[in-house]
Each structure stands twice: as structure tokens, then as C-alpha cells.
């Protein structure tokens, strides 16, 4: 009698553990589902349609074809870093701010060896990508986040075409409206092929991008 009770209790515990593992597996599969359903290059093009002044940075040479990888753009690498390397939600505004905080240097460190393009391009684009995104002011970062969410949301929900998004000012120009906190003017973007200096250390005001 005692053995049967022990057996039933063991079976119930085993079923509970298996059910928990099943739910965890479903959750893990659903996390990157948005990125799996969508073509990263297609989403990146939608972002560039909204922000035509954002640099493409697609001059790198592919190790496989030895040709210019024209589809390997700054935005496509940003998306891959966000969804594949960090596993963050493509539809979360806060998650995109965390990712931009990585580039600014006030959140998690970007590991060059696992950065998108590190093993497929002749030159690792991490330094130039980081330098360019660090030059964006707060308003420009907000516009980039909005464009990314619009691109992903429109593609997943099959929504009707909406009005064009805001134009991202050139990183070398002052924003059209005054920022909440005065910032120094951005330095010109480096020319393709030029040596890019190492990114500056994080500044106290950089953490403000995480504010809603």
C-alpha cells in the first residue's frame, strides 16, 4: 500500500516536471519567433526608408564571396545583435533602448568576437558601428527606436501602409528641436576605409536614454 502511494506521488511529480519543461521550451521558442519569421534585411530596408539619412555602412567585403556585402548594413547588424546575440524582443521599446545603451557603453559590453559580421566579413564592423551610433543624440536615438518598432510591427501584423516616419537628422547636424539636455555638436562621421578611434568612455548623461 505504501509503495503504491509512493509510486503515484512520484508519477505526479514527474508529470509536473515534464509539464514545466514543456512550457519552458515553448517560451524559449516563442522568444525569437519574431526574428525567425522576418527577413532581417527586409526589416532593415524599411528602417532606411523611414530614416534615409542613417548611414548604411555596407562597404564591407564578404569572406565567402570576396565581394561587397551590400545587404550587410548597419541596421541589419543592429537587429541581429539585438535579437540573436542578446535575445531581446524586437517589439519592446525598452529592450531597444537597452541595446543602444550597449553601444553607448552604459549597459552590457559588446563582445567583438560574437558581433554580427565578425565571422562573415573581412573587417569586423563593431568599432565603426559603435562610433556611429554613439554620435546620435537622444532625439535621433528615439527616432531610430520608433522606426525599428514600426518596421517590425508592420511586418508581423500585416498592417496597412502608414504615413512616412520622421526623417532622422544627419549625425553631424543639430536636431531640429532643442534637446531636453544641451549636448555638444557631433563630430563628422568617418569616411569608409578610414581608421576609427576607439569609442569614448561612458558619460554620466548617457544613461538618460533609458528614460521613458
Least confident of 34-43, 162-171, 195-204: 162-171
Query: Residue 203 corresponds to which cell in the numbers above?
Result: 558619460
- Structural element, H or E, at residue 138: helix 138-157
Please provide residue 88's backbone torsions phi and psi, each rounded to the nearest 5 degrees.
Answer: -90, 160
The predicted-structure confidence for 71-111, as pLDDT tens digits, reads as follows 999 999 999 999 999 999 999 999 999 999 999 999 999 99
Contact 152, 37 (CB under 8 A): no
pLDDT at 6 over 70: no
Number of Cα atoms under 13 Å in the Cβ half of residue 183: 25
Contact 133, 104 (CB under 8 A): yes
100 by Cβ neighbours in 10 Å (0-12 / 13-18 / 19+) ranks as: buried
pTM for the model: 0.61
Give the best-scoring range by mean pLDDT among 17-26, 78-87, 151-160, 193-202.
78-87
The predicted-structure confidence for 170-181, as pLDDT tens digits, reads as follows 444 444 444 444
Cα–Cα distance for residue pair 155/46, rounded to 1 Å: 9
The predicted-structure confidence for 18-58, as pLDDT tens digits, reads as follows 666 655 554 444 444 444 456 999 999 999 999 999 999 99
- Residue 184's SS3 state is coil
Cα–Cα distance for residue pair 84/212, rounded to 1 Å: 25
What are the beta bridge partners of residue 68?
61
Amino acid at each position: 500500500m505504501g509503495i503504491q502511494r509512493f509510486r503515484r506521488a512520484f508519477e505526479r511529480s514527474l508529470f509536473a516536471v515534464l509539464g514545466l519543461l514543456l512550457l519552458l521550451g515553448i517560451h524559449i521558442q516563442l522568444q525569437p519567433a519574431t526574428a525567425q519569421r522576418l527577413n532581417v534585411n527586409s526589416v532593415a530596408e524599411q528602417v532606411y526608408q523611414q530614416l534615409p539619412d542613417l548611414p548604411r555602412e555596407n562597404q564591407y567585403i564578404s569572406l565567402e564571396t570576396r565581394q561587397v556585402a551590400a545587404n550587410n548594413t548597419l541596421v541589419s547588424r543592429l537587429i541581429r545583435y539585438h535579437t540573436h546575440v542578446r535575445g531581446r524582443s524586437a517589439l519592446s521599446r525598452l529592450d531597444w533602448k537597452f541595446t543602444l545603451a550597449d553601444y553607448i557603453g552604459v549597459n552590457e559590453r559588446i563582445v567583438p568576437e560574437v558581433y554580427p559580421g565578425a565571422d562573415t566579413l573581412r573587417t569586423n564592423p563593431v568599432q565603426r558601428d559603435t562610433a556611429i551610433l554613439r554620435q546620435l543624440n537622444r532625439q535621433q536615438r528615439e527616432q531610430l527606436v520608433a522606426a525599428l518598432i514600426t518596421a517590425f510591427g508592420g511586418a508581423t501584423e500585416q498592417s496597412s501602409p502608414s504615413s512616412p516616419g520622421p526623417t532622422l537628422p544627419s549625425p553631424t547636424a543639430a536636431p531640429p528641436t532643442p534637446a531636453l539636455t544641451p549636448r555638444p555638436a557631433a563630430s563628422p562621421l568617418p569616411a569608409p576605409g578610414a581608421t576609427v578611434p576607439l569609442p569614448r568612455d561612458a558619460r554620466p548623461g548617457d544613461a538618460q536614454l533609458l528614460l521613458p
